[in-house]
Amino acid sequence: MNIHSGPLKQALLGLIPNLRAFAVSLCGDVERADDLVQETLLKAWNHLESFQEGTNLRAWLFTILRNTYFSDCRRRRREVEDREGKKAAELAIHPGQQGHLDMQDFRRALNMLPPDQREALVLVGAAGFSYEEAASVSGCAVGTIKSRVNRARTKLTEMLGVNTPREFGPDSSTEAIVARTAGGTRLP
Amino acid sequence: MNGKNGFTGPTGPSEAQMKGESGGGRRVRQPVGKRPAGCAEANTEMENRPDMQRAPRHDSQATGMIDRSLQAQLGRQLRAIFEGIEEEPVPERFVKLLEALEAREKQR
């Protein structure tokens, strides 16, 4: 059987919406996301012999996409860090409407999460992967995925101001900030 | 990516938060306004309790303390973003790409 026959093209086409959703959630930028999807499709097509038939094509494609994204990130780390710094400044200056979680704020907060935490959260919380599947996509232990998801959730709630860090017990650097904000008074 | 700036735990401020903070000392107070009405008082009380300041930090414990409805709200927003993109039509460039790949394959 020709592995490049019509059904593969159809299967790939059918998975593109899902892949795009993952890519946009992961990198927060539609243009870059579509470049990632394109690269993923090319790699998948050219390395189809390494896909084991009968296994999960979606998980395989997600793995290729996230590996592409993370090696891309390593290459452009400097640039990414600069941009995240700017995003952080924006979030600080425009705190959004009071009393409800604004979608723009949520997007910004999501983009500010460390990429590995964002990935875990999106895989489990939006793409519908089990912890085990997410671990296999990310190439890490199930416990690591669980901890990343938890940390992502905690951090999102902190960033969106719906719970203060204090409610979770502050660490020393948080205390320092709180102390400074309170007019330099040192906490016991 | 963690480990920079001495980030050691799930409740430490992110690097981004630290950077944002340097712009002015008032920032940390801002999230207060976004909390549901009624929470501000409870929080002040908590800040004054030394036992709360030394609460142990574990992911599971912290997660357990997060309001369930809030978690559900975050989950809905995450899925809304994801599903919003999923519902978009497949961009033409991908249809053309796959057609080109298929055509190239047939020529071999």
Q: What is the pLDDT of residues A92-112, one digit of tens each?
A: 434 444 444 578 889 999 999
What average pLDDT does the structure give for chain A? 80
What pLDDT does residue B34 have? Answer: 42
Instruction: Report how far apart the first and last C-alpha atoms of chain B are (Å, whole number).
Output: 45
Q: Is the pTM of this model over 0.80?
A: no
Is B40:B32 a contact under the CB 8 Å cutoff? yes
- Answer whether A169 sits within 8 Å of B60, measured CB to CB: no
Name the residue with higher pLDDT: A20 or B2: A20
Of the candidates A4, A103, A170, which has its C-beta nearest B77's C-beta? A103
A174, pLDDT greater than 90:
no
A93: distance to nearest CA of chain B, Å?
8
Residues 6+ apart with CB under 8 A from A122: A22, A25, A26, B78, B82
d(CA A182, CA A161): 18
What's the complex ipTM? Answer: 0.70
Closest A-chain CA to B65: A168
Does residue B37 carry a pLDDT above 50? Answer: no
The chain-wide mean pLDDT, for chain B, equals: 61
SS3 B30: helix
Does B29 sit within 8 Å of A101, measured CB to CB? no
Average pLDDT value for residue range A12-27: 96
Residue B8 has pLDDT above 50, yes or no: no
Q: Does B96 touch chain A (CB under 8 A)?
A: no
Residue B11 pLDDT > 60, yes or no? no
